[in-house]
Amino acid sequence: MHAISKIIARHAERKSVEVGEIVNVVPDYVMLNDRGAARAADLFRKMGGERVFSPDNVVVVFDHHYPPIRPQDSVSQKRTREWIAEQGIAKFHAGEGIGHVIFPEKGYAFPGALIFGTDSHTVTNSALGCVATGMGHSDIASYLALGYNWLKVPEVIRFDLHGAFRPGVYAKDIALRIAQLYGEDAAPYLGVEFAGPLVARMPMAERLVLCNMVIDFGAKTGYIQPDETTARWLAERAGGRRWTAETTDSDTDYGRIVDLDVGEIEPLVAVPHDLSNIRKASDLNGVRIDEAIFGTCTGGRIDDFRVAASIMKGRRLAPHTRMMVNPGSRETYLQAMHEGLIDIMVEAGATIGVPGCGPCSGCHQGMLAPAENAITNASRNFKGRFGSPEANAYVASSATVAASAIAGCIVSPAQASSSNY
Amino acid sequence: MLIRGKAWVFGRNVNTDLIFPKIWFRPTYEPGEMASHLMVGIDEDFPKKVGRGDVIVGGQNFGCGSSREEAAAAMKEAGVAAVVAPSFGRLFTRNAINVGLPIVTSPRIDERIGPGDEIEIDLAGGTLRNLRSGYATRLPPMAEESLRLIEDGGIANYTRRVLAQRRDAGLKMPE
């Protein structure tokens, strides 16, 4: 069995499961964001739910619309605060950042765990060697009432990453390369494992970027075999947490194994309005940038701030370019302040917003006007994602976004930065 | 379950941002509200055009992207009888099953159905026919559990039933 199957089996109280089988599972943690909590609580009541089955396993995070944007958000967040108090849900984080950034930070994600969330990017957590996947509101409402969910055991595809990065290339570029080579449905319904010598030396932040992006080529969950990097991450953040990593029995437990030499990858950009629509950053110098959108569950971690600040230090944004920065979490925000990274970005002309989803939630903190171009280190360039459906979003790495914000047009960060692992 | 309806055909990689744009998100919805925003990211008039019993046909990877259940729920509410594509986004598939919207996968089906074609689908029997062209195909079997959930009317009905069974059995409910 693959480790993913073993994790699912354990949470189904089964010795083994088969790929394709549907089983009922009890997750370790279920994340509800502000929107998810409001919708799931409503559906939970409509399903006849009275008491949440296991409130200790529920984590509520206000990240999409926090602080509340419209009066309807204020009302719904007030109701959610009352509802979690009634239901005895104590794990509550408002204004502390994005669920998928704070889950690994606070030890909610750990090896061998099973995590569900009301958001597609819940897959991010799987970088810690767990199974993590997004679900719909009715799914989560049913979980709240019954204490379990149905889950189909996925086949697993493995990407073996090797080779040395060219200057200015990061994990984000690998994800874009996979979307380019294999499409936005490279891994429909599948588990996606990343392995190989490059992953072995990859810091946790970059692993989180890879696993964050698996949903954007169709996957159910990512997976990276826990190792010393994982153990160190957990020891520093959740020392008291007990966990058991699962291991995969053999190469026959994979549907497919794909070899990817990262040495052939250049800094890449997904151009409107499709993630598999990939071009080299160096070929897009003619694209004027009105706004750089920096942060999100893909690119809002301290490592992203370090890369951006190293490029922006002592420089200013192009006169026609604005930059919206939303730290992925409060912890990231504080650390970036302590290291002087926020100073560098503000001095360059960036606007710092609230830790949270920022413009990627689609309705605040830097929406685009028709015909405007934005470059972002978020994960999606869908039409209308950041405001007007007539605007254009380009998706790239944190380094490419920072370098382009300074240049005022899309540029490769190859001269300005190098990956250091 | 026999479905017969008129086809509306869409392209490849239609994401849920297009099926149900974020600007229409609400904490709760009035009856008919979700249906009134169905597919407006592609065609603003679609909610007026689509009729009860119609079938939505998508291209490869239909419903990719975000987890928003509204994408499938709006179709269900609009009375869409089934959604058909060569492949679907995983969350869209899950949400369709959970809201009781018949979801049918069939290779290259988007090339076999044109706008306005009359489609007949036998979910239990596993067949799909294009009544205009005469094209007929067998459907890959759907997991029994998923078919049952769809026939049950979705996960809400299932949850209600299990809750009632637990209450009847006098099982200890969480305090």
pLDDT at A265: 97
Average pLDDT over residues A156-168: 96
**Rg for chain B, CA atoms, rounded:** 17
Average pLDDT over residues A298-326: 98
> CB–CB of A288/A273 below 8 Å?
no
Q: Please check whether residues A91 and A72 belong to one and the same domain.
A: yes
Q: Please, which pLDDT band fits residue A239 given cuts at 50, 70 and 90?
A: confident
Average pLDDT over residues A154-169: 96
Which residue of chain A has the CA closest to B61? A185
For chain A, what percent of residues have pLDDT higher than 70?
99
pLDDT at A50: 96
Delimit the domains of chain B by residue range: 2-168
Q: Please check whether residues A405 and A328 belong to one and the same domain.
A: yes
Q: Please check whether residues A63 and A202 belong to one and the same domain.
A: yes
Q: Please, which pLDDT band fits residue A318 given cuts at 50, 70 and 90?
A: very high
CB distance B91–A385 less than 8 Å? Answer: no
A50 assigned to some structural domain: yes
Q: Which of A139, A274, A389 lies closest to B94 in CB terms?
A: A139
Contacts of B61 in chain A (CB under 8 A): 183-185, 188, 218
Q: Please check whether residues A176 and A39 belong to one and the same domain.
A: yes
pLDDT at B17: 94
d(CA B41, nearest CA chain A) in Å: 8
Quote the domain boundaries for residue A73. Answer: 3-240+249-260
Name the region of A17 (left: φ>0; alpha: ψ -120 to 50; beta: rest): beta
pLDDT at B174: 55
Which residue of chain A has the CA closest to B96? A136
Q: What is the pLDDT of residues A7-35, one digit of tens each?
A: 999 999 999 999 999 999 999 999 999 99
Q: Which of B23, B27, B93 lies closest to A42 in CB terms?
A: B27
| Alpha carbon distance A416, A167 (integer Å) | 8
CB distance B66–A38 less than 8 Å? Answer: no
Superfamily of domain B2-168: Aconitase, domain 4 (3.20.19.10)
The pTM of the full predicted model, rounded to 2 decimals, is 0.95
Average pLDDT over residues B7-32: 94
CATH of residue A396's domain is 3.30.499.10
Q: Please check whether residues A184 and A307 belong to one and the same domain.
A: no
- Burial of residue A236 (CB within 10 Å: 0-12, 13-18, 19+) is exposed
Contacts of B146 in chain A (CB under 8 A): 22
CB distance A136–B98 less than 8 Å? Answer: yes
Q: Which of B15, B41, B64 lies closest to A389 in CB terms?
A: B41
Q: Please check whether residues A278 and A216 belong to one and the same domain.
A: no
| Alpha carbon distance A338, A323 (integer Å) | 21
Q: Please check whether residues A404 and A335 belong to one and the same domain.
A: yes
pLDDT at A420: 60
Q: Which among A66, A139, A217 is the top mutation candidate for probing chain B, defined by the most B β-carbons within 10 Å of its own β-carbon?
A: A139
Q: Please check whether residues A190 and A289 belong to one and the same domain.
A: no
Contacts of A60 in chain B (CB under 8 A): none
| Alpha carbon distance A271, A292 (integer Å) | 14
| Alpha carbon distance B27, A212 (integer Å) | 26
Q: Which of B65, B158, B162 lies closest to A120 in CB terms?
A: B65
Contacts of A131 in chain B (CB under 8 A): none
Q: Which of B61, B69, B158 lies closest to A137 in CB terms?
A: B69
Q: How far lies B61's CA from each of A177, B11, B126, B143, in Å?
A: 18, 9, 21, 19
Q: Please check whether residues A198 and A172 belong to one and the same domain.
A: yes
Query: Residue A304 pLDDT > 80, yes or no?
Result: yes
pLDDT at B172: 59
Q: What is the pLDDT of residues A38-63, one digit of tens each?
A: 999 999 999 999 999 999 999 999 99
DSSP letter string over B132-165?
TT--EEEPPPPPHHHHHHHHTTSHHHHHHHHHHH
Q: Please check whether residues A232 and A294 belong to one and the same domain.
A: no
Handedness of CA A284, A206, A379, A191 (dihedral sign): positive
Query: Residue B160 pLDDT > 50, yes or no?
Result: yes
pLDDT at B175: 46
Q: Please check whether residues A137 and A47 belong to one and the same domain.
A: yes
Q: What would you measure as the largest C-alpha separation in chain B, in angstroms?
A: 59
Number of independent structural domains in chain A? 2
Which residue of chain A has the CA closest to B93? A189
Structure ipTM = 0.90
**Number of residues written out for chain A:** 421
Tokens representing residue A364 in the block: 């605040």
> CB–CB of B69/A136 below 8 Å?
yes
Q: Please, which pLDDT band fits residue B140 given cuts at 50, 70 and 90?
A: confident
- Final residue of a structural domain among A231, A260, A289: A260
d(CA B141, nearest CA chain A) in Å: 12
Q: Please check whether residues A215 and A321 belong to one and the same domain.
A: no
Instruction: Return the number of other C-beta atoms located less than 10 Å from residue A143's C-beta.
Output: 28
CB distance B27–A38 less than 8 Å? Answer: yes
A421 assigned to some structural domain: no
Taking all residues of chain A, what is their mean pLDDT, rounded to a whole number?
Answer: 96
Q: What is the pLDDT of residues A139-161, one digit of tens each?
A: 999 999 999 999 999 999 999 99
Contacts of A76 in chain B (CB under 8 A): 27
Q: Number of A:B CB contacts under 8 A?
A: 140
Of the listed ranges A294-308, A355-369, B30-44, B48-62, the least confidently predicted one is A355-369
A420 assigned to some structural domain: no
Task: Determine how β-strand B82-85 pairs with β-strand B55-57.
Answer: parallel
Q: Which among A58, A133, A135, A150 is the top mutation candidate for probing chain B, defined by the most B β-carbons within 10 Å of its own β-carbon?
A: A150
Higher pLDDT, B161 or A419: B161
> CB–CB of A160/A195 below 8 Å?
yes
- Final residue of a structural domain among A260, A289, A322: A260
Average pLDDT over residues A217-242: 95
CB distance A361–B22 less than 8 Å? Answer: yes
